[in-house]
Structure 1
Amino acid sequence: MNQLKLTAINEMDRDTFVRALGGIFEHSPWVAEGCVESRPFASIAALHEAMTEVVRSSPEETVLELLRAHPDLGTRLAVTDYSASEQSGAGLDRLTPEEYERMTALNEQYVEKFGFPFILAVKGKSKDEIVASMEARVLNGARDEREEALAQIGRITRFRLEDLVDEQ
């Protein structure tokens, strides 16, 4: 993937900006749209902070839609290019039938309890670490897990911006 220069992002028209950054938050281009007027950004960190502030200041139902926009980990359904790359890097595209069954059961249990998919920044994690995290977090309370899911989205989106944007 070709990196975009931060200076170029700061100079893009609104539509180009949203097209370029609209996929950073899973199926939620409204996040990029919501921070376009905050330009210019001095750094990737400043861009990321502006994007996460859009999420933090959004109505609860909108945030819930963002959480629900994420795919189940290990799914065999079509996912965004970002998600496919991240899950492939963690080996989730190469699950044994037993691993797939376990992950599917944990995903179902998690969604039933919290109303949104299990969200984890999988970059640098193994399949076993991911399953262990699922097993632990399904025991969380609803408020704590919502906050953890948003923290994980923060990590995911920071990784994505770092991959996409060249600060120089």
Structure 2
Amino acid sequence: MNSYRLEEINQFSLDTFTEVFGGVAEHSPWVCVVAYREAPFASRDGLIQSFADVLLAAGSDAQLALIRAHPDLAGKAARAGQMEASSVNEQAGVGLDQLTDVEYAQFTEFNNAYKSFYGFPFIFAVKGATKHQILEAFQIRLKNSADEEFAEALRQICRIFRFRLEDLVVEEIAAFEP
């Protein structure tokens, strides 16, 4: 995966920006297109915040569509390789691609229960987590109201944006001047 300096990114055309960052929001390049309007970006955190701001300023229908664009964790799309490359890498990074049949059945059961109750997939920024932490989060979050889970899904997506953009954008540290 290539990493880019902010100086380079601020010179990107919309097409290049979309080519590089269009997959940050799962199957929803519109987030990237709108975030581009905030260029030039003063910092990596500013770029990350622009993606979060776009999501949080969107209408609830667009937010729900983006939530629903996310694959189930350790679900059929994962096994079939039908996810954004970032999702594949993130899920593999926490071992969700190497579940036992029993663990896969647990994830399937929780995914189905969650989607049945809330009408959208369980969103969890998996980077740095374990499969056990994810399963525990399912159990805890299945007790939340629909509004609480909608808000939590948006928070988790913003975390996913952060992780993905941190992988794509080199953090530039200001030089120390004595």
TM-score (norm: length of structure 2):
0.91
Q: Deviations over 1:56-81 (max 9, x none)?
A: 11111111000001000012232211
d(CA) in 2 for partners of 1:103, 1:167: 35
The list of structure 1 runs, each at least 4 consecutive aligned residues, that deviate by more than 3 angstroms after superposition, is none
User: Which structure 1 segments of 5+ residues have no match?
Assistant: none
Residue 130 of structure 1 aligns to which amino acid in structure 2? I
In the alignment, does 2:16 pair up with 1:16? yes
d(CA) in 2 for partners of 1:166, 1:159: 12
Return the offset for 1:46. Answer: 0.5
d(CA) in 2 for partners of 1:37, 1:123: 28
d(CA) in 1 for partners of 2:126, 2:35: 26
Residue 61 of structure 2 aligns to which amino acid in structure 1? E
Report percent identity of matched pairs: 45
Aligned to 2:99, the other structure's residue is in SS state coil
Residue from 129, 135, 144 that aligns with 2:133: 129
User: Which structure 2 segments of 5+ residues have no match?
Assistant: 173-178
Return the offset for 1:167. Answer: 3.0
> Residue 97 of structure 1 aligns with which residue?
101
Where do 1:1-168 residues align within 5 Å?
Answer: 1-75=1-75, 76-77=79-80, 78-168=82-172
d(CA) in 1 for partners of 2:143, 2:93: 26
Residue 43 of structure 2 aligns to which amino acid in structure 1? S
TM-score (norm: length of structure 1):
0.97
**Cα contact 2:56–2:154 (8 A) shared by 1:** no
Note the aligned Cα RMSD (angstroms): 0.9
